[in-house]
């Protein structure tokens, strides 16, 4: 799929799924604005990838996001795709979860997605086209013990996805909004799980393995391309059949 000269914004693009998505898009000739709080890793990635433009930013900082908007207006004529991928986990059972841990996960995973989309949607409304891809999770659909905060944030992203798909087309704009709901993917977030837990997950999957970040990147690439031009408002699970 050729995305030549497409301007793609990816949050959480310094590592894991976000970095894999960035690589996949660059392989297909896109220009990626890579957003993360981790400036050091962003700059290291820049030396590895052509058309990877580091932009250090905390997506809970609304003023910083406005500065990003100014940067985009000054350097690019358009924005084609926004991929809301940034997220953290701070797991614990409900009665042990600290209020700060709840707030931190909601602020980054949910509020950050809201703030980024609110600002970048101004470009899409003016252009009368655009594409938003949110990274949710199957735990936002199914729930998961020990993840009250993460489940709530990812469920909220699903609700926002469906709402934005309706709201951003009220004047017949060609703005599509979809979400990907990954299952257990091999990233730094799953590295801390015990081998026993991972084996149980694999056993429950119809496809007997953990997912790879590339599995998510491949779907993101499809959703960003014209090949998915009639798909919007959808929540697409990529979980190896874990949740059926």
Q: In 132-194, where does DSSP find H-type helix? A: 139-142, 148-167
Residues in the chain: 244
Alpha carbons within 13 A on the beta-carbon side of 141: 18
Q: What's the CA angle centered on 182, arms 180 and 187, to 5 degrees?
A: 125
Annotated active-site residue in 55, 129, 150, 230: 150
Residues 96-102: contacts with CB under 8 Å, at least 24 apart: 97/148, 97/149, 101/149, 102/148, 102/149
Binding-site residue ranges: 12-15, 85, 150-154, 185
140: closest CA among 204, 214, 89, 199?
89
230 catalytic residue (yes or no): no
Q: Would you say 13 and 21 are in contact if contact means Cβ atoms under 8 Å apart?
A: yes
- DSSP labels for 122-145? HHHHHHTEEEEEEE--THHHH--T
Q: Would you say 192 and 147 are in contact if contact means Cβ atoms under 8 Å apart?
A: no
Phi-psi region of 78 (alpha: psi -120 to 50; beta: other; left: phi over 0): beta
Binding-site residue ranges for NADP(+): 12-15, 85, 150-154, 185
Catalytic residue numbers read 150
């Amino acid at each position: 799929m050729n995305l030549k000269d497409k301007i793609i914004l990816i949050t959480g693009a310094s590592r894991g799924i976000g970095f894999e998505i960035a690589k996949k898009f660059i392989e297909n000739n896109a220009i990626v604005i890579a957003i993360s709080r981790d400036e050091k890793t962003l700059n290291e990635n820049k030396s590895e990838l052509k058309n990877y433009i580091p932009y250090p930013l905390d997506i809970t900082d609304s003023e910083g996001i406005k500065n990003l908007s100014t940067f985009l207006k000054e350097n690019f004529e358009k924005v084609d795709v926004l991929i809301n991928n940034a997220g953290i986990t701070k797991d614990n059972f409900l009665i042990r979860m600290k209020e700060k841990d709840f707030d931190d996960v909601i602020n980054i995973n949910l509020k950050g997605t809201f703030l980024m989309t609110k600002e970048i949607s101004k470009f899409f409304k003016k252009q009368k086209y655009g594409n938003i891809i949110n990274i949710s999770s199957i735990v936002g659909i199914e729930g998961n013990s020990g993840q009250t905060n993460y489940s709530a944030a990812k469920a909220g992203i699903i609700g926002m996805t469906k709402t934005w798909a309706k709201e951003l087309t009220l004047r017949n704009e060609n703005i599509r909004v979809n979400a990907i709901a990954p299952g257990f993917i091999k990233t730094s977030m799953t590295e801390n799980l015990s081998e026993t837990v991972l084996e149980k997950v694999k056993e429950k999957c119809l496809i007997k393995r953990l997912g790879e970040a590339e599995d998510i990147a491949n779907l993101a690439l499809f959703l960003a391309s014209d090949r998915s031009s009639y798909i919007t408002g959808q929540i697409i699970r990529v979980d190896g059949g874990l949740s059926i």
